[in-house]
Every structure is written in C-alpha cells, then in structure tokens.
A = this chain, B = another copy of it.
Amino acid sequence: MENLEKILIDMKKASCKLAAFDVNTKNNALKKIAENLNNSRESIIKENLSDIEQAEKDGLASPLLKRLKLDNNKIDILIKGINDLISFEDPVNKILGKTELDDDLILTKVSVPIGVIGVIFESRPDALVQISTLCLKSGNCVILKGGKEALRTNRILTKIIIDSILSISKDFDNTIFLLETREDVNEILKYDKYINLIIPRGSNEFVQYIKKHSLIPVLGHADGICHVYVDKFADIDKAIKVTVDAKTQYVAVCNATETLLVHKDIAEKFLPLVKEALDKKNVRLKGCPKTKKILKDIENATEEDWKTEYLDYILSIKIIDDIDEAIDHINFYGSSHTDSIITENQDSIKKFTSLVDSSSVMVNASTRFADGFVYGMGAEVGISTNKIHARGPVGLDGLVIYKFILQGNGHILDDYAKGIKKFKHRKIL
C-alpha cells in the first residue's frame, strides 16, 4: 500500500492523544459500538454469507467454515463481551507506585497504553471486534489483519467500529486500521519506529516468521505441548476425569493435553482405567516401554512423541519414577504453556507449582482452563509463551505499560551528586 508509512505516522500521533482519553469517553465509544453492531446485524450477516459462499467455492475445510461464520448468536456474544469490557476498570492511569525521593520531589509510576499494536489473527471475524475493543479500552491504536476469507465481514465490522467511535469523538481518528493483504503485513514489519508491538495469532511457524522479519517486539505463542502428571498421591477418579477432559474436550486447541505422565506407583491401577475412559472417546494411545508392559496393545511412543503437538485424538503416555522426573520432563519437552498435576499431597503441589516453568500450572484441574475468558479477563488478545511482558492468556493487563512522572520544585541532580542534599526514598505506595 502506497500510503502505509503516512498512515502509521498518523496512528503514532493518534496514539499519544488516545493515551490521555478519560474512561468515560472510551466507554461511550464501546457502548456505541455495541449499539451499532446490534443495529447492523442484517448487513453484517449478509457480508458474512458472501464470505462463506466464496469460501465454500474455494473448498475451505468445514471446521474453518464454522470459525468463519458470524451469526446472530455470535453477535450476541460479542455485544455481551463489549458490555463486560465497559464494566471493567480503566487499565490506564492506575497509580502503580509512589515514592518520595526527597522533600517536594515525588516519583509516581502510572500505567499507560503501549501505543500502536499490530494484531494478525485467524479466520474468525468475531476476533476483530474483540481485539479492537480490548485495544480501545486500553487506549491503544490497533492495526488489524484478519484471514483473507473473512475480508467482507472484516470490512463491514471495521466500518461499524470506526463510524461508532468517530461519532463519539473526532480524536478517535486514525486509531484503528484494517490491512487487507499479506504484502501490507510484510510492509508494516519494517516500521519499528511507529509500531510498538506485534501480536501474531497463529502457528508457531507464523510467529517465528514475524520474529525473523521484524525488529518490532512480538508477543506470541509457540506450540502448546501440555501435560497432565498423575502423582503417586492422586485421586484416581479426579485423574481420569481431568485426563479425559484435558485430552478430548477440544483437541484442536493449544491448551489440550498431549502427554500424560504417570507415577510408577499408581500406574498399574490408573492406566487400565484411564484407557477404558479414553477408548470411549476414540483416543489413540502411544506408550513408553514401561507403559506398554501394562497397556500391552497400544503403540510405541518415541522421543519424537514427547516433542509433538498432535492437536488430535492422540495421547502419549510415559511412566516416570518420581515427581522430579515429571517436572524435568515437562520443563524439557514442554512449551511452558499449561501443565497440570493430579495429587492430594501438599508437598507435591508445592513442588510442582513452584518448579514447573509454565505460564499456567494447574492443580487437580484440566489444562483446558487456560483461557482469557475463563480467567475472568473478558476476551483475550492472544496467548503468550514469552517470558517477558505478559504470559499466558493476555487481556487488558497485557496491553498496558507504565511511565514515571517526577514532580519537583526546581530540583537539580547536582545538589545530590555534590552531597548538598540526600535522597530519602520513602515509599508512599
């Protein structure tokens, strides 16, 4: 696109203004979006049906068609999501700390928006509404790029959102922009000068591609190789229930479990029972040599299996000697995403939760709970397996940073360098 740099410069300028918007203006804009989505159902669904028609012609697979579809029910959920977002407190302008450095010299740490964020997301057009409203509430400008099969739907949704916010204040101009081509995505990757963060939702390969081709910081996630570890002190019923849910509740998502680790002392009792339950869901099992001594007719699991995200009805199983081996296995083969322990023992809980290096660590609960909506964040802008800025499901909290404000009264450093004055460093907050 010819004017892309110009657009980005305008967005960077707009982002400084947006940072200072009060929460009422932002909430009024959100209300207007909800209202206009509700009033535009017919035209949204019409555009979406055109997208679906085209996608069917192009032979898009049926799970993707399901994600592409935006019906009245999904619009209801979107409107409810926006109303939830309105009810959340402003993530911006929170006082995060306050220190009296000296008489009349007060340092305040305040939350502020990040600035301009680029989000590249999958075929779900509802994601466009969730992402833009999260960015609006957190005072960030956002560059959106959705799946090309959802282009017509994304266009009308973007138009509704932009019209809504501009009707509240002209200063919302240049705060949201929809990219339409992959070339434009490649183009924006150059502009680390204007864009502060890229959130690529999609495969590990895609995230790696973005990282390799841009100096802009990236918040993304690698594979989701999640584990359930059934401890020696596990309650067998809970272990079966959680394993089945973690593996089969929705196999195609990153927080589904791929590997089951079982303590050797409980394996003989637990494994035949869990197999019975998993068989009912048609899960293919692959086991280590020790597992195969108990579950004789299952396939072999190899080294490769411990590193594999199946995203399918397949589960690898390994018998381990003790909790330390389980933790080492998870930290070595896992993707620091979500891992669960099933145990009734407090020492095991403490050890597992403090030593497993994952963004979500579950105790007697399914790995499937790792999700922004479940965690009470409203929607999520993405899931991060980074170890800086934000980890796990990223909601409003992950869309802000802070600035320091130092209020003095003609203070100069030289007085302190020369020892004429001394810092007090009294923590106020």
A interface residues with partner B (beta carbon < 8 Å): 12-13, 15-17, 19-20, 99, 101, 105, 107, 112, 114-115, 196-197, 208, 211-212, 215, 217, 219, 235, 237-238, 241-242, 244-246, 249, 327-328, 331, 349, 353-366, 368-370, 374-376, 386-389, 391-392, 401-414, 416-417, 423, 425, 427
Contact = CB atoms under 8 A, between A and B. Distances in A.
Contact of A245 (B360, B403, B407, B413): B413
Nearest to A407: B363
Contacts of A408: 362-366, 369
Given A215-B208, A417-B249, A16 B357 contact: yes
A245 B414 contact: yes
A196 B17 CA distance: 33
A405 B13 contact: no
B391 A401 contact: yes
Which of A197, A212, A366, A402 has the most C-beta atoms of chain B within 10 angstroms of its own C-beta? A366
Contact of A375 (B19, B359, B404): B404
A349 B244 CA distance: 58
In terms of DSSP, what is the predominant structure of the interface of chain A? mixed
A102 B244 CA distance: 20
Contact of A374 (B114, B387, B423): B423
A370 B404 contact: yes
A414 to B, nearest CB: 5
Contacts of A358: 403
15 contacts: A17-B355, A19-B357, A107-B375, A114-B387, A211-B215, A219-B388, A245-B413, A357-B403, A359-B403, A361-B405, A363-B406, A363-B407, A364-B411, A365-B410, A388-B388
A397 to B, nearest CB: 9
A193 to B, nearest CB: 10
Contacts of A357: 15-16, 19, 112, 115, 403
A112 to B, nearest CB: 8
Contacts of A363: 405-408
Contacts of A244: 412
A337 to B, nearest CB: 11
A370 B406 CA distance: 9
Given A217-B386, A365-B408, 15 more contacts: A101-B374, A105-B369, A107-B376, A196-B388, A238-B410, A246-B412, A249-B412, A358-B403, A359-B404, A363-B406, A364-B407, A365-B410, A369-B411, A389-B401, A392-B404
Contacts of A410: 235, 237-238, 241-242, 364-365
A369 B413 contact: yes
